[in-house]
Structures are given as structure tokens and as C-alpha cells.
Amino acid sequence: MVKMGSLTSYPYINYCKFKAGAFAIDGTNCTVLIWNVKCSLLCQLNGCQTVIPSNTLVLLTDGDQFSCQDNCFLHVKTIGFNAAVFSSSIIFICGFINTTMRKGFNKKTPLLFPDVQTQAINHTFTIIEELFENKVSLNIKAVKDIIRELLNDALAQKFKDDESVINHFGKILNTQFAVHHNVVDYAKTVHMEPKNLLRLFQKLGLQNPSVIIKQKLMLEIKSELIYTNKSIRDICFGIGFSDPAYFSRFFKKNTGITLKGFRKKYPNKAAC
């Protein structure tokens, strides 16, 4: 059993590569990205038997269970990271990719990539592996950037029919989250009525845009608390809140813990 759910200390991420033999992954409290490189695998995904083709990515979140008893597979690579703190933009993309799979096993479809992209993805995982081999100093920013680019490709594959609106919404959210805090503002940026934007998200099986916006704000706040030495007041204004008292209530309402309490829970690695 490979358990990746205890990523509570820096760098909040780990990497594994399997060459042969049975293995299992418990995604409790973390996100796991699985890249199946060469052979089709007969696996168990959340208790259901399925075949994972070669050249596919599988994204596990919120306690998903994955196991494989195949003894002849070659190179299954996994990256596990703490979804609460590792990278807000990556988790945002993961949310888009995997939310459509929440309603049942049949919707948890692996992301199959065309052969022309396989070499590039393999190269991406080779770079990640080399970064993790540096035991002295892991370049967290480089790892984040590489995974983000990889998942952006997966996002385009999954939502290619509605790519322009989804990607536009995502780009605005990732770059202007401190300016826009409500659905009306985002609807204007993608030139849609708010109700039509909501309908599009519902059609794709995605969460309500307002929920996604709130999740993005929460992830950015957590990232600032962990990876910087900024005061809570500076974080408040930097993320677009005008009232520190409301900012504190907003955070506690959505986490059950105070801002100071959260900062104490995870070691501050601003200097790393």
C-alpha cells in the first residue's frame, strides 16, 4: 500500500515510480496524478474493475482508492500532493478535470492522450523525476510549473468542445482572483449572462462557478499563509478583501480554523 495522504510537512509532495508487482494508492486527503506509460492495466478503481490503457493520466482526489495486481506492467508513475497547500492553480485545474467524475464510477474516465503527445508527457515526468532526485534542494516552483503545464494539456483534452469559455474563465480566475470575487464579474469577462455561465458549468458536470471562485480564494489565502511571511492584514488586502474582520470570518467559516491556527498547523517555508 502506497499511502500519500500524510503530506503534512514541506514540501507537501512526493513522487513514486513502479516497475513491477502489485501496488495500491490511497488518495486520502491528497491529490494523486497517475501516468500509465506502456501497458494496459487491469485495475481496481474505487472498488470497480477497469482497464487503464497506456498513455493515460488518472487523477485521484478525496479518498479515491486505486490498486493494481498486474505483475507485468512497465513504469507507472505517480505524483501525490497535499491538495490544501501545494498549489492553488494546480488544484483549480484538477477540480475542472475531475469534478465531472464525482457522480459515479462511470464518469471517472482516464485521460487518454494521442500518441503524438506521449513523448512530451514522458519527458515531463522524466524532468519531475530528476527534480526529486536532488535530495539537497527540491525546486518546488519548477515542479509546480511543470505539473501545471501538464494538467493544462489534460484540461484542454477534456473540455475541447467548450475549451474557449472554460479556459478563459480559468485564466481570469488564476490571474484576477484578487479583483473579481463574484460570478457576475466573471460572466462579463467571458461575455455571457451569469445564468448562461451557470448552465454551461452544469452541463459539464462542474461545480457552481461561485463555489469554484470561493475555493480559489481559499487556496490562495492558504498559500500566502504557508509560503510567505506576510502579515494577515497584508494577505487580506492583497487578495482583494477590504475588511480584515470579514476576511477572518470568511476563512474560519470555510475551514473551521482561524488564520493564525492554520499558519501554525503547517511549517512556514517562505525561506525555502
Tens digit of pLDDT for each residue in 22-55? 777 776 667 888 888 777 778 888 778 877 777 7
**What would the mean pLDDT of 177-198 be, rounded to a whole number?**
88
Prediction pTM value: 0.59
- Residue 249 — pLDDT band, cuts 50, 70, 90? very high
Please tell me what DSSP assigns to residue 20.
S
Answer yes or no: is pLDDT of 272 > 50.
no
pLDDT, residue 173, reads 82
Span(s) in the chain for CATH 2.60.120.280:
2-158
Q: What is each CA distance from 32 to 15, 26, 214, in whole angstroms?
A: 10, 9, 23
Grid cell locating 42: 487491469
What is the architecture, at CATH level 2, of domain 176-265? Orthogonal Bundle (1.10)
CA distance 139 to 58: 24
**What would the mean pLDDT of 200-205 be, rounded to a whole number?**
77
The sheet with strand 41-45 has its strands ordered as 2-3, 23-26, 65-68, 41-45, 48-52
- Residue 232 — pLDDT band, cuts 50, 70, 90? very high
Span(s) in the chain for CATH 1.10.10.60:
176-265
Answer yes or no: is pLDDT of 163 > 60.
no
Burial 95-132 (b: 16+ CB within 10 A, else e): bbbbbebeeeeeebebbebeeeeeeebbebbeebeebb
More confident residue, 72 or 23: 23
CA distance 266 to 188: 37
Distance of CA 170 to the CA centre of its chain: 13
CB 155 within 8 Å of CB 166: yes
193 phi/psi in degrees, rounded to 5: -70, 145
Taking the CA of residue 26 as centre, how many other CA atoms within 13 Å lie in the half-sphere pointing to its CB? 9
CB 156 within 8 Å of CB 163: yes
33 phi/psi in degrees, rounded to 5: -105, 120
Please tell me what DSSP assigns to residue 252.
H
Identify the CATH homologous superfamily for domain 2-158.
Regulatory protein AraC (2.60.120.280)
Sequence-ordered alpha helix ranges (H) in the chain:
88-99, 115-133, 140-158, 163-176, 183-189, 194-203, 209-227, 232-238, 244-255, 259-265
